[in-house]
Amino acid sequence: MTDTGKKRRIAIIGMGPRGLGAAEALAARAAGLRVEVFDPVQPWGAGPNFAPGESPLCLLNLPVREVRIDGSAFGDWLGKGPEVFPPRADLGRFFAARFEALAARMSLVMHAPRLEAIERRDGAWWLRAGETHGPFDEVLLTQGQAESAPDPQLARWKDHAEAHDLPLRPAYPGTALREAAEGWAGKVVGLRGLGLSTLDVLRLLTLGQGGRFEGDSYVRSGREPARILPFSLDGHAPAPKPADAEVDARFDPQEAETEAFTAALAQAVALPAEAALERLCAALEAPVARLSGAGEAPVQRWLAKERDAPGSQETRGAVEALEAHVAMARGAPPDIGYALGQIWRKWQNALRRGFNPARMAPETAAALLKFDDGLKRFSYGPPLRSAEELLALIGAGVVDLRAVDDPDIRLVPEGWVLDGDAATLTAAAMVDAVLPAPALAPVTDPALVALRAEGWLHEVAEGLGAATAADGLALMPDGRPAPGLAVLGRMASGSVIAVDSIHDCFGAAAERWAEGVAARAEAATRD
């Protein structure tokens, strides 16, 4: 390619799993580039969500057999059975090792100081991180969840906690939460959210404080909170994944069903929002009816409600629904929602292949994204054991669900008063287990704020991430691609879909970006 003095310079902002996937894709497609990485979080490759030093109580929501990165490389490296749900820290160590292997064969320059600014001048990009670096021909943003302003409720709570010296902690890092909870013995703790992060928090507040599970029962240590009060907008826990590969295989789609789904998605992305959802749901009716044993008419009605109000079909109480889903995970006949969620999980790669490269109306993108997000209560479920532990904690009175369903919350000097349908309860401490939405508007990271203000980034639609082209290049408000500036992952949500899966970090999106960089580098050598 070009000589050393004229090497094209590539900056990757963030070296977690997504930055690692992008760098690996680039290494396979282009040589002679100077690649510089900006990330203060070490070890590089793992990122904060998979930090090797994170608590082993924070589990991956995939069994080893489903972590398909370079075939069975993770399972071989880990040396554990295919049905194990390992700690996220184990996957972080695997990614850190992959980064070390990549650095040994690819020219990488690492910068640990925090990124402060990204500027465009003189036809190139310049980065400020302690000092000014540049010029760069390409800049890739892969920070994952960028710093964002708290939502109005959390902002009020932060002011309240500070004014009254009350414990208000985020779910992660789990090691920090476990240590903070050592002073919560006997207290009542509120828990905002009832998703996957909540199950990690419950383990940190119970097993992390010396409690233990014996069969279907929980045995208190005396060091855990007296009660934990989880709550969410719908008051329901996510459904667990099938118990093992044998049960999971019952939800495999047939080849003709996958072909029909792929064709429907290709048509849906070209339609207005409502028509797009109807077309996609029409392709779901037959396979879900087959898997659930329900007729197509009940499935059609279920899907119609799901399009309008996700989760409104669920009329069972929180414990009854959780017990039913645990039974389905063990092999009992699935209901419509559970069957749909499992086949939707198996079609995540097909969903990305059809959605991510396509250009569609912003309203259509938002509608499809909302539909996918709603189904995560089934498709992104936890290990069966985590759901069983939640039932044990409920049975032991450690977890109290009397205010689980969207309670009214009053702030008092003693803490948070939760007015639920069944009881009014007061929490003296609060844990926030709600992940910020992947939206561009609330982002407070100064580099991204400046890029948006200068017109280099703009949101796909209200409440979504940055508009990008198929190869990740950011699209400016007039539709032109920003020269050499790309976004992959959560901050591009709406341009891409299903970004919260670890497989998306090593998939086609990273490959398309790398191919674009390689093509532009080759074109530059001819000029």
| 231 falls within a domain | yes
| DSSP character at residue 435 | P
Burial-class residue 104 by CB neighbours within 10 Å (0-12, 13-18, 19+).
exposed
Residue 142, SS3 per DSSP: coil
- Say whether both 347 and 365 belong to one domain: yes
**Are residue 34 and residue 136 in the same domain, yes or no?**
yes
Report how far residue 321's alpha carbon sits from residue 329's, in angstroms, rounded to the nearest whole number: 12
Cα–Cα distance for residue pair 210/204, rounded to 1 Å: 10
Maximum CA extent, the chain: 72
**Structural element, H or E, at residue 212:** strand 212-214
Q: Tell me if 136 sits within 8 A of 144, measured CB to CB.
A: no
Q: Tell me if residue 139 falls in helix, strand or coil.
A: strand
pLDDT reported for residue 438: 87
- The C-alpha angle with vertex 503 and arms to 502 and 508, in degrees rounded to 5, equals 135
Alpha carbon 427 to chain centroid, angstroms: 28
Which residues are CB-neighbours of 32 under 8 A, at least 6 positions away?
Answer: 1, 2, 7, 8, 521
Kindly report the CATH number assigned to the domain that includes residue 458.
3.50.50.60
Question: Same domain, yes or no, for 198 and 66?
Answer: no
User: Strand locations in 124-177, DSSP E?
Assistant: 124-129, 131-136, 138-141, 168-170
The amino acid sitting at 175 is: T
Whether residue 373 sits in one domain with residue 305: yes
208 and 330 in a single domain? The answer is no
Q: What is the count of structural domains for the chain? A: 3
Residues 336 and 352 in one domain: yes
- Are 251 and 373 in the same domain? yes
CATH number of the CATH domain containing 422: 3.50.50
**One domain for residues 265 and 363:** yes
- Domain assignment present for residue 454? The answer is yes
Report whether 457 contacts 466 (CB < 8 A).
Answer: yes
Same-domain check for residues 221 and 258: no
Per-residue pLDDT tens digits of the chain, which is 527 residues long:
333 347 899 999 999 999 999 999 999 998 889 999 999 999 999 999 999 999 999 999 999 999 988 766 898 899 999 999 999 999 999 999 999 999 998 889 999 999 999 999 999 999 999 999 999 999 999 988 888 999 999 999 999 999 999 999 999 999 999 999 999 999 999 999 999 999 999 999 999 999 999 989 999 999 999 999 999 999 999 999 999 999 999 999 999 999 999 999 999 999 999 999 999 999 999 999 999 999 899 999 999 999 999 999 999 999 999 999 999 999 999 999 999 999 999 999 999 999 999 999 999 999 999 999 999 999 999 999 999 999 999 999 999 999 999 999 999 999 999 999 899 999 999 999 998 888 999 999 999 999 999 999 999 999 999 999 999 999 999 999 999 999 999 999 999 999 988 989 998 999 999 999 999 998 888 76
For the record, the structure tokens of 63 come out as: 């069994």
Task: Give 297's contacts (C-beta < 8 A, 6+ positions apart).
Answer: none
Tokens 């013995």 -> residue: 185
Q: Evaluate the omega torsion of the peptide bond into residue 135 and state whether it is cis, within 30 degrees of 0.
A: yes
The reply to whether 388 falls in a domain is: no
Same domain, 42 and 120: yes
Alpha carbon distance 466, 459 (integer Å): 4
Work out whether the CA dihedral 368, 374, 379, 380 comes out positive or negative. positive
Q: 496 pairs with which residues across the strands?
A: 493
- Residues 17, 40, single domain; the answer is yes
Tokens 């959390």 locate to 154
Return the pLDDT at 71.
Answer: 64
Q: Is the pTM of this model over 0.75?
A: yes
Spatial distance between the Cα atoms of 363 and 372, rounded to a whole number of angstroms:
14
Domain assignment present for residue 35? The answer is yes
Q: What is the pLDDT of residue 251?
A: 97
DSSP designation for 209: G
Task: Give, in degrees to the nearest 5, the angle at Cα 59 between 54 and 65.
Answer: 125
Q: What is the pLDDT of residue 72?
A: 63
Specify whether 278 is located in the same domain as 322: yes
Q: Which of 511, 516, 521 is nearest to 22 (CA)?
A: 511
386 falls within a domain: no
Enclosing domain of residue 99: 4-148+437-526
Backbone dihedral region for residue 463 (phi beyond 0: left; psi -120 to 50: alpha; all else: beta): left
Q: Is residue 321 assigned to a domain?
A: yes
Assess if residue 367 is contained within a domain: yes
Q: Quick one: which of 238, 228, 229 has its CA closest to 195? A: 238
User: Is residue 392 one of the residues assigned to a domain?
Assistant: no
Contact at 8 Å (CB) between 457 and 487? yes
**256 Cβ contact partners less than 8 Å away, ≥ 6 residues apart:** none
